[in-house]
């Protein structure tokens, strides 16, 4: 499943080329998870604004050419140095009112590509936003992705889909103190809490396993039993892991490619994920695999303590 780094890699690939692009045509393929929510023809002539991201959702603001260029907020994902100089929190900037737009999710197997206008769609290409700067195409073999119109991020359906998302990893308002306080309210295993995304977004299965290993925390440890110093180490590990994943173009296990068709390579640098039975790089003991909430968890029982 494309996780936050993969979605941010996608956002960066389309934000520049599509800013100011005019919509010429919209093609709908087989139904996705939810209906578009308005007639595709109503999008013709709209202009794309600043494309942003919240969690694993992409927001493509649209406005009529006569009303000026569409506007959006800055992306939720930023480098640590960039986040320190931000004048407002990510959640505040993302929630600014915009004229309307498309909220997109890549689902379990989706990817976006920016293509020339004349490239014919394949059997798994289920949405085309054709503009005067190329065609933004959603390929999704399993069709769990979504493209939904919303009049604004603070209005339904966008508001309902985004309501329960936790803090962005590099949001300045996410401090070691607030992160620890949020963990103290959760009695579930820390791995499950990270995957839930209501404390912090971005720690998908691969990245949660890797960050917990880096922080030396057992994935089965209850979140409310993590001390303040360990919570601080975990937050730092999450940020380092996600930043590294972004540098490497995300992870490609099956389907994900960026907008240019390139695969991510983070999975080849993983310390524990997918390495069951192999020697831990720190202690030499075999990496273990267990199933938590129907997801594979990889960890070193010697290096990661409860």
Please name which of 6, 46, 55 lies closest in space to residue 23, comparing C-alpha atoms: 46
Query: Which residue of the set 3, 6, 8, 168 is catalytic?
Result: 3
Rounded to an integer, what distance in angstroms lies between the CA atom of residue 82 and that of residue 149?
A: 30
Q: How many helices (H) and strands (E) does the chain have?
A: 8, 11
Strand (E) or helix (H) holding 297 = strand 295-299
- 88 tagged catalytic: no
Is 14:131 a contact under the CB 8 Å cutoff? no
Catalytic residue among 2, 141, 189, 219: 2
Q: Is 249 left (phi over 0), alpha (psi -120 to 50) or beta?
A: left
Q: Where are the beta strands (DSSP E) in 106-200?
A: 111-115, 125-131, 134-139, 146-150
Q: Which two tokens stand for residue 287?
A: 């990496």
One of 96, 222, 244, 295 is an active-site residue; which one?
295
Task: Out of 11, 53, 54, 56, pick the active-site residue.
Answer: 56
What the block records as the tokens of 153 is 């991020």
Does the annotation count 56 as an active-site position?
yes
Backbone angles phi, psi at 77, to 5 degrees: -95, 125
- Whether 137 is catalytic is no
Q: Scanning the structure block, which residue is given the tokens 């308002």?
A: 173
Q: Is 19 a catalytic residue?
A: no
Terminal-residue alpha carbon distance, the chain: 28
HSE-up of residue 256 (Cα within 13 Å, Cβ side): 23
**Catalytic residue annotation:** 2-3, 56, 295
């Amino acid at each position: 499943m494309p996780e936050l780094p993969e979605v941010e890699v996608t956002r960066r690939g389309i934000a520049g080329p599509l800013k100011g692009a005019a919509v010429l045509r919209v093609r709908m393929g087989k139904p996705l998870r939810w209906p578009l929510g308005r007639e595709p023809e109503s999008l013709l002539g709209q202009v794309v604004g600043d494309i942003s991201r919240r969690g694993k959702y992409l927001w493509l603001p649209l406005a009529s050419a006569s009303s000026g260029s569409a506007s959006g907020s800055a992306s939720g994902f930023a480098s640590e140095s960039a986040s320190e100089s931000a004048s407002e929190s990510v959640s505040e900037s993302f929630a600014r009112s915009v004229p309307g737009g498309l909220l997109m999710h890549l689902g379990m197997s989706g990817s976006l590509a920016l293509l020339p206008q004349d490239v014919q769609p394949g059997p798994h290409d289920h949405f085309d936003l054709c503009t005067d700067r190329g065609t933004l195409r959603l390929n999704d073999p399993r069709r769990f992705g979504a493209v939904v119109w919303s009049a604004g991020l603070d209005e339904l359906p966008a508001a309902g889909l985004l309501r329960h998302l936790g803090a962005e990893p590099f949001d300045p308002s996410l401090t070691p103190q607030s992160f620890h306080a949020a963990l103290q309210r959760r009695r579930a295993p820390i791995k499950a809490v990270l995957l839930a995304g209501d404390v912090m977004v971005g720690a998908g299965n691969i990245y949660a396993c890797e960050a917990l290993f880096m922080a030396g925390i057992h994935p089965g440890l209850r979140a409310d039993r993590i001390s303040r110093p360990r919570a601080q180490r975990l937050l730092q590990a999450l940020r380092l892991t996600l930043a590294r994943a972004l540098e490497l173009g995300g992870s490609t296990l099956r389907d994900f490619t960026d907008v240019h068709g390139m695969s991510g390579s983070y999975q080849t640098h993983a310390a524990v994920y997918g390495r069951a039975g192999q020697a831990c790089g720190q202690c030499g003991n075999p990496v273990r695999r267990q199933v938590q909430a129907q997801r594979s968890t990889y960890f070193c029982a010697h290096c990661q303590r409860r």
